[in-house]
Amino acid sequence: MSEEANLLKDLALILISAGVFTIISKALKQPLILGYILAGFLVGPHMGLFPTVTSTAEVSEWSEIGIIFLLFALGLEFSFKKLLKVGSSALITAMTQCVGMFILGFMVGEAIGWSNMESIFLGGMLSMSSTTIIIKAYDDLGLKEKPFAPLVFGALVFEDLIAVVLMVLLSTLAVSNKFAGGEMLMGLIKLVFFLILWFLVGIYLIPTLLKRAQKYLNDEILLLVSIGLCFVMVTLATLAGFSAALGAFVMGSILAETLESEHIMQLVKGIKDMFGAIFFVSVGMMVDPNVIAEYWGTILVLTITVMVGILFFSTSGAVLAGQGLDNAVHAGFSLAQLGEFSFIIAGLGVSLGVMRDFIYPVIITVSVITTFTTPYMIKAGTPAFHFLLKKLPSQFVEKINSFSAQDRDNTAAEQNEWKRLIKELALRMLLYGVVLIALNLGSHLFLDKFLNNRLDSLTPFVRNLISVVVTIVLMSPFLVGFALSGEQISKSSIKLIKEKRSNLWPVISLALLRILIAMGFVISVIASHFNLAFWTILLIFISGVAFFFIGRRSISKFTIVEDRFMANLNEKEQHQRRLAPVTSSVTDKMSRYNVKTDMLTISPDSLYAGKPLKELPFRHKSGVNIVKIVRGSRTIMIPTGSEMVFPYDKLLAVGTKEQLAEFRKDMAEDVYVPEKTAADALAPREFQLESITLKDDSWLTGKTLREADMRSYGCMVISVVSDGQITTNPTPDYRFKSGDLVWLAGEKSACEWWD
């Protein structure tokens, strides 16, 4: 059989077995992940009980595509802007888990007799939770809207970023057998640089292109474009030395800021599910019963270490981050498994010759076991929280939760104007600085090479002059953005000067510092092509400072690039504000007080339908207020108590998270449920469409449709064929005659005896 035929056979086997075992999982009310992994275990190369997958290398490549789509879908749902909102909490949680598990993993490796290098690699392998497993489990369990979900997803993203740096460090250690802090620092700087650059360029270009191509984008074209962009970023990430999964996540997060994000999410869902299934089946295929039998003790020790250690460190990190006991416990139970980076790190250690071969399947087996337990651990979060709530001293719990609320309030308030100014300045300089560095590097790598190859007839001086002029022209809008103040910086500066006159000189000094750094970029471009004397450098600095200070009012109008970027970045939120002004206002201004909104639709069977608001128990039972009623194309803002509620009305309620949960519960419970008799249950009504031919002695013969009154018996006439002519929906005065072909519709028992 040809290689292509083998691959098709393997894919058929994988998909069919996955389908069968996920049906079994669904029937047993178990998460689908378990079905996928069990299917992979049974059709893998180690069992032999069923038809076996033969093209494991090709299947591995398909599973990598599955990881790409899973991370792409995660980016679409969890953008960088959301990451920034939970950034500090997620970072603290991830760092606590990674550092704690690295130390614990090293200690466990030493205790079970592994070498120092193997123990170091073990610490790295045990540090990371599984992004793909948790995404799938949260999908299956419907937990993506829970309050702890953003914290979990944010921690996973930071863990993936930490994993990239960790791989650089471990590779250096394996090759040189010594710690290289410089390598790790450069890897981190490189990662941050590329992430910022990709995000800035992506937000500037992609929403604009999608908007201009809007009228040409049907489902097919949008799907092709979005997947193409995903693989472009995957390629860029791999060329830069990062993982393909990171590139997929970055592109997903960029597209998440566009108006088409939800549409794209729906389009790629089927592809994501299929390739994700292949990935999880391939993980199950890696489980080797022989390795389990020989190293079961090691596997058991590592499994307990992972589940207990990650649970402890991630919960502790979330508590330290001010997330409260509830969110912290749920985050800890969610993260208690090994991730995909464990496979990568294990493979790296084996390929570099610093780890024995058996460690790779051992780590995979531990990962599979913890994958099996993940859904149950996630479900155990709620009872564990209630258990701790009962057992822990109430003062301790109150202190944790009050610390959480205080932390959020302080972060949101940000009352120190100097801190706000410094924060805005640092962010602005970082973003614009990354773009300027990228343009400078691009000029050296591409523009200079192009000029030397294509314009070699020109003198070196002319080629260098062209390169400098083109580079500075391209950098000019970003130099302006770097040197000048944005709206928030200007407001803070003016406020500080008004509050205290002595703040004038520090504010001017900060502005001068930015201008000098901006001119430093210009000088670096010129100096890389020409030899500059000291007086030349000084003259450029003085000219630049004078240019920015004297012409700042004029050049501040030429911030086209920044304006376009900010418009694209905020386009989705602005669109949402236009569509839902009340919800957006409450979310922006009241979310830190636990005040939210929720919209529910009145069911036709609701006991509240047809009653005025003042007679409904919403306020009394749950404490919510109804601020808007949407009825078709009509919107009733701040309805009065006499406003009637009709079926399919959409009610926008405002209240705390607990009040809204009670409101949803009331709406779901207070519906009319018709009573079913025993006869209804045993003999359900059956609809049928059949024809009868009337005879002379038929009951209908000679009667009009009105006289027959058939509808009162549950039957009606659709058409009558008489003398070769058909009459559809005859009038009540139609009189039946012998020979008519009558088509009847209705309940079977009611239509059987009319002939």
Give the closest residue to 718 by CA, choosing from 693, 748, 691, 700.
691
User: Are 380 and 248 part of one and the same domain?
Assistant: yes
For residue 317, give the H/E element and its range.
helix 296-320
User: Are 665 and 687 part of one and the same domain?
Assistant: no
- Tell me, what's the pLDDT at 414? 37
- Tell me, what's the pLDDT at 48? 65
User: Are 172 and 310 part of one and the same domain?
Assistant: yes
- pLDDT over 80 (residue 730): yes
User: Are 233 and 140 part of one and the same domain?
Assistant: yes
In a domain, 26, yes or no: yes
- Tell me, what's the pLDDT at 2? 60
Q: Report in angstroms the alpha-carbon separations of 626 from 596, 639, 649.
A: 12, 7, 12
Average pLDDT for 548-577: 65
Among 293-307, 390-404, 447-461, 578-592, which range has the highest average pLDDT?
Answer: 293-307
Give the closest residue to 126 by CA, choosing from 267, 305, 311.
305
Q: Which residue has the higher pLDDT, 95 or 172?
A: 95
> Which of 669, 702, 730 marks a domain boundary?
669
- Residue 457's identity, in one-letter code, is S
Q: 309-313, 477-481, 564-568, 595-599: which range is least confident on average?
A: 564-568
Among 253-262, 310-319, 561-570, which range has the highest average pLDDT?
Answer: 310-319
Q: What CATH number has the domain bearing residue 370?
A: 1.20.1530.20
User: Are 368 and 437 part of one and the same domain?
Assistant: no
Q: How confident is the model at residue 413 (pLDDT cuts 50, 70, 90)?
A: very low
In a domain, 164, yes or no: yes
In a domain, 193, yes or no: yes
- pLDDT over 60 (residue 412): no
Give the closest residue to 234 by CA, choosing from 65, 81, 78.
65
- pLDDT over 60 (residue 727): yes
Q: Report in angstroms the alpha-carbon separations of 226 from 152, 184, 270.
A: 26, 33, 14
For residue 490, give the H/E element and its range.
helix 487-499
CA distance 347 to 44: 19
- Whether the CA torsion 181, 184, 187, 191 is positive or negative: it is negative
> Which of 563, 582, 616 marks a domain boundary?
563
- Tell me, what's the pLDDT at 405? 44
CA distance 510 to 423: 12
User: Are 338 and 458 part of one and the same domain?
Assistant: no
Can you read off the two tokens belonging to residue 620?
């009394």
- Whether the CA torsion 674, 677, 680, 682 is positive or negative: it is positive
In a domain, 408, yes or no: no
User: Are 707 and 601 part of one and the same domain?
Assistant: no
CA distance 248 to 686: 52
Q: 230-239, 622-631, 681-690: which range is least confident on average?
A: 681-690
In a domain, 78, yes or no: yes
Give the closest residue to 485 by CA, choosing from 440, 533, 428, 550.
428
- Tell me, what's the pLDDT at 301? 92
In the DSSP assignment, the letter for residue 674 is P
- pLDDT over 50 (residue 411): no
User: Are 661 and 525 part of one and the same domain?
Assistant: no
Beta-bridge partners for 636: 629
- Tell me, what's the pLDDT at 623? 82
CA distance 582 to 636: 12
Please enumerate in sequence order all residues whose Cβ is within 8 A of that of 97, keeping only pairs 6 or more positions apart, or say none: 127, 129, 155, 159, 310, 313, 314, 317, 335
- Tell me, what's the pLDDT at 155? 86
In a domain, 145, yes or no: yes
Q: 54-58, 154-158, 480-484, 603-607: which range is least confident on average?
A: 54-58
- pLDDT over 60 (residue 632): yes
- Tell me, what's the pLDDT at 305? 92
User: Are 177 and 150 part of one and the same domain?
Assistant: yes
In a domain, 40, yes or no: yes
Q: Which residue has the higher pLDDT, 119 or 658?
A: 119
Domains identified in the chain, total number: 4
Burial letters 583-603, b for 16+ CB under 10 A, else e: bbebbeeeeeeebbbbebebb
In a domain, 714, yes or no: yes
User: Are 27 and 167 part of one and the same domain?
Assistant: yes
> Which of 515, 546, 563 marks a domain boundary?
563
Q: How confident is the model at residue 304 (pLDDT cuts 50, 70, 90)?
A: very high
- Tell me, what's the pLDDT at 415? 47
Q: How confident is the model at residue 309 (pLDDT cuts 50, 70, 90)?
A: very high
% of the chain exceeding 70 in pLDDT: 84
Q: How confident is the model at residue 107 (pLDDT cuts 50, 70, 90)?
A: very high
Give the closest residue to 281 by CA, choosing from 471, 66, 117.
66
- Which strand ranges, in their side-by-side order, compose the sheet holding 625-631? 595-601, 650-656, 625-631, 634-637
- Tell me, what's the pLDDT at 1? 53
- Tell me, what's the pLDDT at 457? 77
H-assigned helices in 44-148: 56-77, 80-85, 87-111, 116-125, 131-141
CA distance 358 to 336: 23
* pLDDT tens readout for residues 139-180: 777 777 777 888 888 888 788 777 767 776 777 677 666 555
Q: How confident is the model at residue 407 (pLDDT cuts 50, 70, 90)?
A: very low
Give the closest residue to 344 by CA, choosing from 370, 311, 372, 367.
367
Q: How confident is the model at residue 302 (pLDDT cuts 50, 70, 90)?
A: very high
Q: How confident is the model at residue 104 (pLDDT cuts 50, 70, 90)?
A: very high
H-assigned helices in 144-260: 149-176, 181-212, 219-239, 244-255
Q: Which residue has the higher pLDDT, 691 or 618?
A: 691
User: Are 50 and 151 part of one and the same domain?
Assistant: yes
Q: How confident is the model at residue 593 (pLDDT cuts 50, 70, 90)?
A: low
Average pLDDT for 408-420: 53
* pLDDT tens readout for residues 336-393: 888 777 877 877 787 777 888 788 788 888 887 888 788 888 888 888 888 888 877 7
CA distance 250 to 82: 13
Q: What CATH number has the domain bearing residue 698?
A: 3.30.70.1450
Burial letters 180-191, b for 16+ CB under 10 A, else e: beebbeebbebb
* pLDDT tens readout for residues 502-522: 777 777 788 788 888 888 888
- Tell me, what's the pLDDT at 682? 44
% of the chain exceeding 90 in pLDDT: 5
Per the CB < 8 A criterion, the answer to whether 602 and 649 are in contact is yes
Q: What is the CA radius of gyration of the chain?
A: 34
Segments forming the whole domain that contains residue 627? 593-669
- Tell me, what's the pLDDT at 583? 66
User: Are 629 and 739 part of one and the same domain?
Assistant: no
